[in-house]
Amino acid sequence: MIRKAINLFSRVPLHVVIIILCIVWLLPTLGIFVSSFRPSSDIMSSGWWSVFLDPADPQNYTIANYTKVLFGNNIWRSFLNSFIISIPATLISLFFAALAGYAFAWLKFPGRNLLFLTIVGLIVVPLQMTFIPIIKIYSSTGLYGSYVGIWLAHAGYGMPLMIYMMRNFMGGLPKELFESAFIDGASVWTAFTRLVIPLSLPVIASLAIFQFLWIWNDLIVSLIYMPDPSKAPITLKIANLVGSQGQSWHLLLPAAFISMVVPLIVFFSLQKYFVRGLTAGAVKG
């Protein structure tokens, strides 16, 4: 009994440390969440934590900030743009990378190893290395400021890592499977669609989530290749809002929160895949 009590007591510091760390990690996000629902005069005149003095008072809350930033600053449009940019770019890169991963794992062609090693090396190339030459080509071909241009750019930048992961996974599939399929007269393409794709769904799912969120959260690629504000994704829109309205917290906070909604939903519903993709792929771009 006493021993148990001592044991419990000796664990108190452990819990204290963990809980303090969790609170420290949570407070900043909680701050913008609470503040984004407060009237703009309140945001500027008192700290967001003062809401908790009288949490039930409806006067403390408003959705005016959200309507204002969504429709007054056209955040809804950039929210939509983020989907328009992320989804096709993710699909293009998944498709190309699956094809290439399969070829690097199971098909034989001259220069295969050298090409693959080059791709592994290119995973960590800083994007800063690539912007100037590509902008030049983009602006002389009309891809500058177009969705196609941005889809391709994201696909290209994400490709080395995705090929690498696809190949590693697909290379682990049993060899006998392919041998018997080819004996049965299956073509390379049939083997790809009927065997490789269904068996590789776990890695494809992880990569899809990872790539989608990466593109959703990207700022730098859009900053460089999307000069047209009406096509800009939400991250770029927010970054510009900080530049022009740095002190308008009643606009910045809801905007930031809107941009976080999709990643947070993905994160909490698909945490397993997300963590798997991210831990494997964080070295990118």
Partner 1 sequence: MRDRKFVSWLFVGPALLVVGFFLFYPTVITTYTSFLGDVDMKGAFPTGNFVGVENYINVLTSTETLVAFRNTMLWLVVMTAFTVGFGLILAVLLDRVNYESIAKSVIFMPMAVSFTAASIIWKFVYAYRPPGFTQIGLLNSLLGAIGSFASRPGVNTALHIMFAIFGITAAVFALLALGKGLWKSITVWKEEDRVTWIAGAVIAGLVLIAAWWILGFIGIGQGTTPVGIAGQVLMILGLVSLGVAAIRDNAFGPPLMGSLMLLGIVDFMLSQIGFTPTTWLLERPWTNNLALIVMGIWVWTGFAMVMLSAAYKGIPRSMLEAARVDGANELQVFWNVTIPYMKTTIIATTTTIVIFVLKIFDFVWVTTNGEYGTDVLASLMIRKMYSFYNYEAASAIAVVLFVLIFPFVIINIRRFQSREAIR
* Subset of residues 82 to 141 that bind partner 1, contact rule: CB under 8 A: 95-97, 99-100, 102-104, 107-110, 115, 117-137, 140-141
Binding region for partner 1 (CB under 8 A) out of 1-9, 67-75, 197-205, 210-218: 210-218
- CA 246, CA 260: separation in Å to the nearest integer? 19
First to last CA, the chain: 56
Tell whether residue 195 is a contact of partner 1 (CB under 8 A): no
Q: Minimal distance in Å, beta carbon 274 to partner 1?
A: 7
Task: Pick between residue 133 and residue 198 the one whose CB is nearest to partner 1.
Answer: 133
Task: Pick between residue 138 and residue 231 the one whose CB is nearest to partner 1.
Answer: 138
- CA 77, CA 200: separation in Å to the nearest integer? 35
Amino acid at 3: R
Q: Minimal distance in Å, beta carbon 62 to partner 1?
A: 17
Q: Minimal distance in Å, beta carbon 88 to partner 1?
A: 14
Tell whether residue 144 is a contact of partner 1 (CB under 8 A): no
Q: Minimal distance in Å, beta carbon 64 to partner 1?
A: 18
Helices (H) and strands (E) in the chain, counts: 16, 0
Tell whether residue 80 is a contact of partner 1 (CB under 8 A): no
Alpha-helical regions (H) of 111-190: 112-122, 131-141, 147-171, 175-183, 188-190
Taking CB under 8 A as the criterion, the residue among 219, 228, 229, 269 binding partner 1 is: 219
Count of CB atoms situated within 10 Å of the CB of 16: 10
Binding region for partner 1 (CB under 8 A) out of 8-16, 54-62, 65-73, 197-205: 8-16
Q: Which of 98, 103, 86 is nearest to 165 (CA)?
A: 98
Build a one-symbol-per-residue string for 23-62: x at contacts with partner 1 by CB under 8 A, - elsewhere.
--xxxxx-xx--x-------xxxxxxx-------------
Angstrom distances, CA of residue 76 to CA of 165, 198, 245:
34, 36, 18
Q: Minimal distance in Å, beta carbon 209 to partner 1?
A: 10
Residues 230-269 that bind partner 1 (CB under 8 A): 235, 238-239, 242-243, 249, 252-253, 255-257, 259-260, 263-264, 266-268
- CA 142, CA 278: separation in Å to the nearest integer? 34
- CA 33, CA 257: separation in Å to the nearest integer? 7
Contacts of 115 (CB under 8 A, 6+ apart): 104
Q: Minimal distance in Å, beta carbon 57 to partner 1?
A: 18
Tell whether residue 190 is a contact of partner 1 (CB under 8 A): no
**Which DSSP string do the residues of 219-250 spell out, in sequence order?**
-HHHHHH---GGG--HHHHHHHHHHH-TT-HH
Taking CB under 8 A as the criterion, the residue among 153, 195, 204, 232 binding partner 1 is: 153
